[in-house]
Structure 1
């Protein structure tokens, strides 16, 4: 394991875009100056200096607000139907058995592969919802943050912007049920979690200055009201939590705490803009409006939610109430920015038997989804990003509007084409806080990262 310090103050450069989506709208011949990973100046109708990187169309890059990187290695392994009815819970049992064999080296190699794929798909940053902390059987590593440091090493190697979210996971189910054998690598009581959090904070100094750390109480079923309040006293960054993903979860929490999970959380905790509520799939209309009013971000993972059969989010009511949202790739079964946004809208269309659903009034669905997810993702990850504007982080993505999937479209239709007609192959370049890691559609570390990943997966499969 190695973490290479990259000093953000040394990151500078210029980008010239034929078209760019600025905070004020579309502009042409845009020159963007970057210093210290920050956009310092934007000039429209500018000539292209010889030293500038030329791109076709420049967009604010999204943050992937929810990832369990290690699950990427089991993509495709859980799509064989067994006797009876498959569900999230049968998938979870398979995931536990797979995860139990992972070594620190393998976790690092898998995470690096995931982050390369994310950047090539157009994500400049990631929220790593990290809950594998211990050795097989629950034995602690000498350094309680050992596996967090492996995530740091993967982020350092790939250059992705990292918001690290160590997870508090104390119980096996609602009502303080004991951890199952498959959950022992996750488990910490409050004191153990705070020790881990301190160690992870200390290690963050090896990363670039845009890296952040938050906390992630896994879910109401994996903690308790007392433990949740105890760790919230130590939160000084983003706070993420799984909530209301499955009907059985909603039923179990209601039986234990006397309220549905979203309703309980909003009435017992100060949920505000620091919070990201992951999934929030099964909410009533009143819960949906109340959640939107807090300013918290709904962390939506449409591809995983479809893969696991979770159900669709109540997007119509939530957006009508001006709710903030972002997207993440969660299980990483298919890392694709365009697929996440497309699935989000299509899930609403299939449920409601309607088209162009996630726009209040009139307007471009692609524009609403993309720009909304850019702002919400930045908020959820605690990054000064989400739009192309001076003094913001240079989290930027370039796409090729001359691609056959996009070449017939006007600028006002371009994001509709990107979301619904194209795929991630139209991404040509990506910058994470000014770090230019994707060039001509490929990550600069792809070859080495893929080789390490294949070696790690070979060893892992041989151990199963």
Structure 2
């Protein structure tokens, strides 16, 4: 049983809440209760967010790409450096890095992750004997940490719009549709030992890395489950797709694919007002990664128009240059303020910006990862985070201001506990396997740095 002095339920704030969890789901919820002996007692309980977009291996190169080279640095120059880095990663490295990343996510308050996984093969592109070897490594990291995993094998066939061949550095990513379908099947086997909340979806990498025929074929082969795709991240990408397919990426996708609420469109940064409204009406989730989007110079999302049109959104840590739930929330809002020269932008009408950001990201993230409603309610997964409202950054705030304080005045150290489908992995602010996982990560990094 879990006892919380106060909790943000699907119906609003409640006091003295007791939850009973069985097989990862909340089976009973009562308010105005007293703590009982043996309860896990916490201060303030919230629905935990899903981190809906992660490339875990990129955490290992954080801080290595912040040196300005001759000319203008951009996403594309960063990508070249990332490709060279991937050539040195072993399966053991990938597992140790992913476990550390998942631990950091949980300690920051995330209960689950969408791993957008495109490292499939050996350096140079030769498949492993087990086609899903690296998916199995991601599954092992999820098992070690207890995080809720939605595994998203990536279809990456071309090096650019118009069937451009893969570049040398992209060999580890590449698959034609038939081999990709086999990889997905083997990935499902690789995660079969994980708890029941694990999901496997698909991720056509982007319109530039696939083709209309391939996209149609892969969607026909996988008719249910999460579908994630990078879309309209960079102006060059928009121009390349429009020049090739005759329409901007979001417009083309909405006109040529059955985009449903099972879809997550990652970034969707460069949209017209019309695209923004149509994407919102599709029911798909906008997968926003504000820290990475700022780090790579992508640009800000069109938040006000999207919210006004009723669009769903969630947040992710993407490149994992910094893993921080609170930083993602405030960067999302601050990017809007800087563009619009205004305050309190990400809310429709009047109301709490922090509440809009947090509850919106909780619902949208859960939707994108196939984890239900993103709320604390009977029948839902017990994806829960506890924060300490007595922390100095929060102690002066009323109950209805706590989510504003979390989004704008706090660091992740206000997180005390996290449950992923009932698995109590973070206790007293610390992951229960921290020492072992951090030790393995440091060992992997020493080995990796020696090979560079």
Q: 2:133 aligned with 1:146, yes or no?
A: yes
Structure 2, unpaired ranges of 5+: none
Q: Deviations over 1:353-408 (max 9, x none)?
A: 00000111000000000000000000000012400000000000000000000000
Q: 2:178 aligned with 1:191, yes or no?
A: yes
Matched residues in 2 for 1:29 and 1:201: separation?
A: 41
Conserved 8 A contact 1:385-1:395 = no
Match of 2:360 in 1: 372
Q: What displacement does 1:233 show?
A: 1.1
- Per the normalisation by structure 2, the TM-score is 0.99
Matched residues in 2 for 1:296 and 1:92: separation?
A: 27
| Aligned partner of 1:440 among 428, 439, 442 | 428
Match of 2:307 in 1: 319
Q: Spell out the pairing of 1:385-396 with structure 2 (5 A cutoff).
A: 385-396=373-384
Structure 1, unpaired ranges of 5+: 1-13
Matched residues in 2 for 1:384 and 1:360: separation?
A: 24
Question: 3-state SS of the aligned residue for 1:138?
Answer: coil
Matched residues in 2 for 1:386 and 1:150: separation?
A: 27
Matched residues in 2 for 1:293 and 1:95: separation?
A: 35
Matched residues in 2 for 1:75 and 1:281: separation?
A: 23
Match of 2:99 in 1: 112
| Aligned partner of 1:428 among 416, 419, 424 | 416
Conserved 8 A contact 1:174-1:252 = yes
Matched residues in 2 for 1:115 and 1:423: separation?
A: 18
Question: 3-state SS of the aligned residue for 2:221?
Answer: coil
Conserved 8 A contact 1:163-1:213 = yes
| Aligned partner of 2:166 among 170, 179, 192 | 179
Q: What displacement does 1:203 show?
A: 2.0
- Per the normalisation by structure 1, the TM-score is 0.97
Equivalent pairs counted in the alignment come to 451
Question: 3-state SS of the aligned residue for 2:127?
Answer: coil
Match of 2:211 in 1: 224
Question: 3-state SS of the aligned residue for 2:192?
Answer: helix
Q: 2:174 aligned with 1:169, yes or no?
A: no
Match of 2:47 in 1: 60
Match of 2:291 in 1: 303
Question: 3-state SS of the aligned residue for 2:166?
Answer: coil
Q: What displacement does 1:324 show?
A: 0.2
Matched residues in 2 for 1:169 and 1:253: separation?
A: 16
Q: What displacement does 1:299 show?
A: 0.1
Match of 1:3 in 2: none
Matched residues in 2 for 1:429 and 1:448: separation?
A: 19
Matched residues in 2 for 1:350 and 1:416: separation?
A: 19
Q: Spell out the pairing of 1:44-443 with structure 2 (5 A cutoff).
A: 44-235=31-222, 236-443=224-431
Match of 1:9 in 2: none
Give the RMSD, CA atoms, in angstroms.
0.5
Moved more, 414-423 or 233-242: 233-242
Matched residues in 1 for 2:35 and 2:185: separation?
A: 47
